[in-house]
Structures are given as structure tokens and as C-alpha cells.
Amino acid sequence: MPLSRRTLIGSSLAAATAVAIRPAHAAANVLRIGISTSLNTLDPMMVTTGDEYIYANLVFNGLARMREDLVVEPDLAESWSYSDDLKRWTFRLRRGVKFHDGQEMVADDVVASFRRLLDPAGTSPVRSQYDMVESVSAPDAATVVFQLTIPYGGLADILTDRQVKIVPRSATAQLATQPIGTGPFKFVSYTAGDRLVLARHPGYFESGLPKVDGVELRIIPEMSVKISALQAGDIEVLWDLPLEQVKTLSARPELRVDSVPTASWDGAILNNDIPPFNDKRVRQAFHLAVDKKEIVELTLFGQGVETISPIPPSHPFYAKDVVVPKADPAAARKLLAEAGHPNGIKLPIILPVGRPVRERLGVTLQQLAKAGGFDLQVQRLPYSSFNAEVSGKAPLYIDGFFARPTVDTSLFPFLRSKGSWNERLWHYSDEAVDRALDAARSSADPAVQKKNYIDMQAALVANPASFFAYSVNYACAYRKSVAGVKTHPMKWFDLRNATLG
Amino acid sequence: MRLAAFLLRRLLGLIGVLLGMSVLIFGIIHILPGNVAYSILGEFATPAAVAQLEAKLGLNDPLPVQYWCWLSAMLHGDFGTSIVMNRPAASLIGEALGRSALLAGLAFGLIAAGGISLGLYAATHRGRASDKVLTLAQFVLIAVPEFFWAILAVLVFASWLNLLPATGYAPFDAGVADWAAHLVLPVLVLSFGLVAHVSRLTRSSMLEVLDSRFVLAARARGLPERRVLWRHALPNALLPAITVLAIDAGLLIGLAIDAGLLIGGIVVVETVFAYPGLGRLLVYAIERHDLPLLQVGMMVVTAIYALANFVAELLYAALNPRIRVAGAAA
């Protein structure tokens, strides 16, 4: 048929009409959450990214769980007690808890889950965090006993963590493909690059929960598309909103934006092992050179708060009475001169490409530190090569760490002499810090812990290990139809009470 | 006889290309910066854990040994396992490839129809305002990259007009309307630049034909202009465009890769629209250093290219005996 102008226009109009039929939303009572990247693994023991933590906390339970206000409460365990020397912990299990396949969860499952995690031949990324566990045993079907090698006051706290979930002892082989847990939602399907589909677990042990029929995690890498999807109602929740979007999206009438403080931190890693930061005065000078408040404004658009250590100012253990010296570039230059750098210091600062907030932090530091005598040359490297090429080798670079569930796990490996992260990042050693960290973990009394952690922060101000810039906020955007969800500072979701209006 | 020799030569060439590419892909992938053990262990990667995992994954074997293991397994039909996801690579790639082929196939149809009709329209309206506007639009479409159009399309059609979904994929079993609506934007954006290419090509060849003597002769004989255009000019003008599209069609057997343009576009479009196709899977594999998945994915893309070229050459040889003779004599 000959093509004419008329047919061309006619056919394009027809196509446009056909296109404009927007389909009605799928299953009505399913909560759809927009996340960023494909999950690497469905095995809860192996999760290492924020997107995976969401999944692990919806499908599985641990012995204990952490509320949005960071209070630890029983989950699969009903209660627990510990011996006077803090080396023997006994957990009483909740009875009648059903796995998604209908089997009952018993103490043997708990023991098997921990043996799997602690297996030296296994590949659990977090095994070293449970080094203090000597053995796990089940005297009866409802009791689990942990025997520890050292007195450890925070065992129940670390059992809220993302990788220590209880899985059925008979079904560990299928965890990578058809995972089974006890959580409020059960696994249905997963398509890499597209979505993870979860359905309500009808046998969930808290009766009447969860309230929605299912949850879908939609993988949408491009932020502008994710925001469009939220505004259009293709998703109801946008996880981990970039902080520069908080103000803009808060103004939208159909959305609710929540920005909460977390214990995740970014900073400049100063290598204490090699010049110039092996000199305490140079580290002090770096801290005097810049104003952390200004960094928070410029890097986080105000969505965060300056900090001394990984303990965030929102935490009760934060040392709010310890005096931190004000930024004073002149004093910084003077200290540098005393340390043998009368003309200041020129050195590279390495920024992680692909971590925009941390890149911003690096550039901000480069600008602000000039006045204090630090002439920093920005170098950019892909974040994926940081572990292999930068960490522990470069004198100065930008990095950051995701919040950990307890103060001990976010401090001890990082600041204790010979701590696993200390050895990899900055090689710091300070007697007062070591003493305080040791004392804090060998007590289960919050008052004793608090006193020691405040001592530790005071010691850290006097002898800085590295530049902990700020505790960063975490933001989520919700459509107003979503109720019953609080934004969790650990960046996962508790959707047991979520509803869709 | 000659045809058989020709076929054999081409087939051997195809195998050679695939083998050569397998060495190249393996080599390049192994000099990529980064490390899969770090990628799996994430922020918990202690040196001891990294070493243990590397040993477990067989990453410490000498490279030639690793290469041989990979190649021989592949020849036995074992395409390996994604070491990050711990799932068979073949099924991951198979599913993704199917979805990419759908996207590419629809885009190809749009490119052929849209490109030729716009080119004809421009040629028959040479020099007029509409031709100039079209020419300008074509250059803009060619010059501006897909990711710009993709994001613009999302903003306009999903955010402002709320006509179409912002993301590009819904499973078929969720409903045909839903599935189709999700495909509209990715297909449109994927086609934009290539429609412009094909229409430029059609326009120039049509103009050439319109200026030729036989068109002049037809007009001189007093034929109506419609008849001159549709009966005499069009069939001749379409030859170059059809040739290009035929190559594309040959490639469509696999994935409709327009000389690399379409696959490049697919990576961008699939990422922006969150469409779970082969492009996304490859980007994922690169980001996570999932070497087995990346190797197999790259080999699949290579094989599609090589096979499509092979088919195109056969088609040419069938259509034009001179190619066959030259090929056998050379």
C-alpha cells in the first residue's frame, strides 16, 4: 500500500492511543519498594549489601531483633540469661514457630545455623565477628547455650545482626535458590535485575501479622527513574533516597520523606603507619584545619551530624561533654611547622568513584584543608579497586562504613590495637583507647559501658586515629498510602505492621 | 563444489573467530582491576577470608589452566556458575537474552517502518520546511545519546503525564496490557537514534534516484507523479536501505544488533528502564567481577555477532554470485 501523509499521521495517532492506556495497578495489597542493585545472594549468611539486608530481615529472624529506637528485644528467643563471668549465655526459644515450609523451628536449627556460620571451611563473610564463640549446643529442644572464650557483654546485641539468621537445618543446601526462613514474608521468586517477590507467611508466629499480602523489591538502578516511579505510583517506597533529594521530595503532597540519624559514617582515612600521618601532630593539625559542621552542610546538605568516632551523636553513649577543639587553620599550620612541615604538606587524597557522597566529602576536604596548610591533590579510583589497591596502602583516602548493630562491633575492630579493621585501615594504637574498649566489652552493665565509651572518645580527641567526619542520615520516601512503617536507622525494613491505604 | 569450498572456509573462519575471541575475552577479563572475592565478601573482606574464598573458587590456578577448564567445560555444554549469585550462568543468560531479543525485535520493527517512511517523506518534500525540520530532528536524534532520551521520556510520560510506567518490565503473566505498557518507552528510546540513521539513508538514496535519468524519462512520458514515485523511484531507492536492514535482519536471528549500535543502546536503555535483559546482566557481572558470568555473557554476544555475520555472508553469496567466486578465488 502506498504510504501517504494521511496514513502516516493516522497510524501514529492510533499508536499513540494504544500506548496511552495505563494499566491498572497489579495486586492491590502488595507493598513495592524501589531498591538500587540486584541481590548477589539469597543466603542470609552471605548478605553484604544494604539491598540484601532488607531481604534478610523480611524473610528470616534472628534470636534477637533491634527496634527502630535501637533497643534490642527478643525475636526467636523468648528470653536469655548469662553467667556472672559473661562467658556462658543461655537462650530460651519461643515455641511453635513455623518455617515457611511448615516445619517447626527447634534448638537444633539454631545450633546448625551457627555451626554453618562458624565453619572454618565455610565462606561466611562475618565469621571473624563471632570469634569469641567457642561452642553452641542445645540441651533441649527449646534451649540454646553459647559458650564463649572471653567475657562478652554484648552477645544478645550482635545476634540482631543481618547475617545471623536462623535457617532450617534440613534445607541449607537450597538457601541460594529457594530460601526458607521463619520471617513474616516468604520467598516467591527472584529475577536478577528486575524484582524479588515475597508473600505473606500465613504461619508467622505473631498472629495477625504481617498485614500486607506481599512485598516486592523492585531493582531500579537509575535514581531519576526511581523517583518518577514513586511519583507515578509504580512503587510505594523509595529506599535510601539521596540526601540532596530530601528537601525537594518533602514538598510533594503525595509523599512523606523520613530522614533519620544513623551510625553509618564517612571519613578521611589517615594511615598512622607511614608519613605524614604517623606523626600525631599532623593528625591533630588535620582535625584543626577544617570545620566538620561546614563539611556536613556542603557534603550532606545538612542531612547528618559531625561526630568524634563511629558513635553517632544520637546515641546515648556519645560524649557530648567532651570538648572538641574548634577549627583553627592558623593553629593547624603552626602544628604542622612543629612537626617539621613549615611550608605545609602536599599529598594526594584518593576518592572512591561511584560513591557520590564520599566523592563530595573528598572535594570539600580538599577545598577546606588548604587554609590549614594541607595541599591535597584529588585522585579518583573506582571503589571496586579500593580494597585491593588503596586500603592500608595510601596515606590518605576517603571511605566510610555502614552502621553495625552494636557499639562494640563498630568500635573494637576499628580502634583497638591490632583490631581487624584497625590493621587494614590506619594502624592506630593508644593505651587509653585500648583500656576503655576492653573494659566496655567485658561488662553487660550499660552504665559501665557508657563511662568507658566516653573515656574512649576523650582519648580519641586527644590522639586522633583518623578523621571521622560525620554520622550520615538515611532517608526514605513513602507514598502517603503507606502506614505502619518507621524508617529504621539500620536501613532495613520492619514491615510486620505495614498497611496500604 | 565452489559453494561447498566457500561454506567450509567461512565455517572455519567462524570457529577461528570464536576461539580467538575466547582467548581475548578471558585475557581482558582477568586483567580487569578488582577482585571477585572482595566483591562477594563486601565490607567484611578480611585478608584471610579473601584468600580462603579465592582458593575455594579456583582463582589461584595458573591462568592457562583456568582458561582450559573454562573452554573444555563450555565445549561440553557446561557454561559455569555465576560465582556471585551462585546460580547457573546458562539459565541466567538465557532468560536475559530472551527479554533483550524481545526488546530488540520490537525496536527493529519500529526502526524499519519508521526509518523508511520518514526518509521517503523527507525526500519527496525536499527543500520544504517539513524536510528541514525533519533533517534537524534527525541530526538531534543521532547526536544526543540514548540515556538523555530515556530520562526525558521517563520524566515526561511517567512523572508529568502519568501515562506510562517509569520502569521497563513487567512479567507477561501479570497481564498483557501491563506487560505491553512497560515495553513502550524502552522500545521507543531504543529506536530513536536508529530511526534517524535509517531515514537519513533512505532520504539520500531516494534523492539520488529522483535525480536519475529514468525518473526524468518517466516524467517526460507524462506519468502521474504518484506513479513515478511509487512504481519507479521507490523500489530502486529502497535497495540500500533494505541492504542495511537485511544485515540487521540477519542479526535479528540473534539479537538485532545494528552494527553494535543496538547492543550499546540496549545496555543504556536496560539500565535506565530497569529492564532485566542481557545488557543489565553484563553490567552487573562487570560491577561484581563475576568472571564466569561475564565470560559466558561476552561469548554469547560474540557468538551472536559472528553467527549473524556468517548468515549475512551466506545471504550475500546467494544473492550475488560474484562474491562467491571472488571468495573462492582469493
Q: Which residue in chain A has the smallest CA separation from B276?
A: A193
On the question of pLDDT at A35 being above 90, the answer is yes
CA distance A405 to A163: 11
Q: Does B54 touch chain A (CB under 8 A)?
A: no
Strands A195-200 and A214-219: antiparallel
Q: Which of A137, A130, A147, A132 is nearest to A110 (CA)?
A: A137
- Average pLDDT over every residue of B16-35: 83
Q: Where are the alpha helices (DSSP H) in B144-256?
A: 146-153, 176-210, 213-220, 225-227, 234-252
pLDDT band at B87 (very low <50, low <70, confident <90, very high): confident
Q: Which residue in chain B has the smallest CA separation from A25?
A: B178
Residue A348: other Cβ atoms inside 10 A: 13
CA distance B134 to B121: 9
On the question of pLDDT at A470 being above 50, the answer is yes
CA distance B173 to A338: 72
pLDDT band at A402 (very low <50, low <70, confident <90, very high): confident
pLDDT band at B317 (very low <50, low <70, confident <90, very high): low
**Which of A21, A41, A225 is opposite residue B167, by nearest beta carbon?**
A225
- Which residue has 506487560 as its cell numbers? B179
**Which of A40, A127, A225 is opposite residue B40, by nearest beta carbon?**
A40
pLDDT at residue number B46 = 72
pLDDT in tens, B131-161: 888 889 888 888 887 788 888 888 888 888 8
In B, which residues are within 8 Å of A224 by CB distance? 151, 154-155
**Which of A123, A222, A227 is opposite residue B272, by nearest beta carbon?**
A222
pLDDT at residue number B259 = 41
On the question of pLDDT at B187 being above 50, the answer is yes
> Rounded mean pLDDT of chain A?
90
**Which of A40, A229, A385 is opposite residue B167, by nearest beta carbon?**
A229
β-bridge mates for residue A468, sequence order: A267
pLDDT at residue number B105 = 82
On the question of pLDDT at A230 being above 70, the answer is yes
CA distance A267 to chain B (A): 15
Q: Does A252 touch chain B (CB under 8 A)?
A: no
A388: cell is 585491593
- Average pLDDT over every residue of A358-377: 95
pLDDT at residue number B181 = 86
On the question of pLDDT at A443 being above 50, the answer is yes
- Average pLDDT over every residue of B269-285: 83
B176: cell is 498483557
On the question of pLDDT at A8 being above 50, the answer is no
Tell me what ipTM this predicted complex has: 0.72
pLDDT band at B252 (very low <50, low <70, confident <90, very high): very low
Verify whether the Cβ–Cβ distance A232 to B47 is below 8 Å.
no
- Average pLDDT over every residue of A109-114: 96
CB pairs under 8 A between A and B: 164
> Rounded mean pLDDT of chain B?
79
Q: Which of A329, A332, A345 is nearest to A285 (CA)?
A: A332
On the question of pLDDT at A185 being above 90, the answer is yes
pLDDT at residue number A83 = 93
**Which of B33, B39, B274 is opposite residue A219, by nearest beta carbon?**
B274
Interfacial A residues in 105-144 facing B (CB < 8 Å): 123, 125-129
CA distance A3 to chain B (A): 7
A224: cell is 531519576
pLDDT in tens, A68-93: 888 889 999 999 999 999 999 999 99
Phi, psi of A494 (to 5 degrees): -110, 105
B153: cell is 521520556
- Average pLDDT over every residue of B191-207: 82
On the question of pLDDT at A23 being above 80, the answer is no
- For an interface test with A, which of B38, B39, B46 has the most A Cβ atoms less than 10 Å from its Cβ? B46
The whole-angstrom distance between residue B59's C-alpha and the CA centroid of its chain comes to 32
CA distance A355 to A297: 18
Q: Which of A448, A450, A460, A388 is nearest to A424 (CA)?
A: A388
CA distance A108 to A499: 35
Q: Does B44 touch chain A (CB under 8 A)?
A: yes
Alpha-carbon distances, residue A4 vs A1, A14, B118 (angstroms): 9, 15, 11
Strands A143-148 and A133-140: antiparallel
B294: cell is 561475564
- Average pLDDT over every residue of B2-28: 86
pLDDT band at B254 (very low <50, low <70, confident <90, very high): very low
Q: The whole model's pTM is what?
A: 0.80
CA distance B46 to A206: 38
Q: Which residues contact A106 (CB under 8 A, 6 or more apart)?
A: A93, A138, A141, A142
pLDDT at residue number A13 = 43
Q: Which residue in chain A has the smallest CA separation from B150?
A: A225
B150-163 residues labelled b (16+ CB within 10 A) or e (exposed): bbebbbebbbeeeb
pLDDT at residue number B312 = 67
Q: Does A22 touch chain B (CB under 8 A)?
A: yes
CA distance B319 to chain A (A): 26
β-bridge mates for residue A133, sequence order: A148
- Average pLDDT over every residue of B32-59: 75
Q: How many Å from the N-terminal Cα to the C-terminal Cα in chain B? A: 16
Return the DSSP state at A129: G
Verify whether the Cβ–Cβ distance A225 to B49 is below 8 Å.
no
Ranges A47-56, A288-297, B49-58, most confident: A288-297
- Average pLDDT over every residue of A308-329: 92
**Angle (nearest 5°) at CA B164 between B162 and B169:** 140
Phi, psi of A141 (to 5 degrees): -65, -15
- For an interface test with A, which of B167, B229, B238 has the most A Cβ atoms less than 10 Å from its Cβ? B167
Which burial class, exposed, middle or buried, applies to B124 when counting CB atoms under 10 A from its CB (0-12, 13-18, 19+)? buried
pLDDT at residue number A69 = 85
